[in-house]
């Protein structure tokens, strides 16, 4: 089972691949929109990749509520 560090590392890889964000910029306190400049289409791609990788479901209304990298890591850890 993946711990929070493993989840963060995987999320970082996915964000870098989907949105072209430098992996060094992806830290738990960063906001997807404000800090990493990720648009809504890229967020959908990221969440689909996370669903596949971690076998967790992100309800559509929940995706909009996950503002930071850390919130997303916590959500995955709690719902796997």
Write down the H helix ranges in 1-80. Answer: 4-19, 40-54, 60-65, 69-79
Is 35 known to be catalytic? no
Query: Which residue among 37, 39, 60, 61 is the active-site one?
Result: 39
Burial class (CB in 10 A: 0-12, 13-18, 19+), 5: exposed
Residues annotated as catalytic (active site), given as ranges: 39
């Amino acid at each position: 089972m993946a711990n929070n560090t493993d989840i963060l590392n995987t999320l970082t890889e996915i964000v870098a691949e989907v949105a072209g964000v430098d992996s060094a910029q992806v830290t738990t306190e960063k906001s997807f929109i404000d800090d990493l400049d990720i648009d809504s289409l890229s967020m959908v791609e990221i969440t689909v990749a996370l669903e596949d990788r971690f076998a967790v479901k992100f309800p559509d209304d929940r995706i909009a509520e996950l503002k930071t990298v850390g919130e997303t890591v916590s959500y995955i850890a709690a719902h796997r």
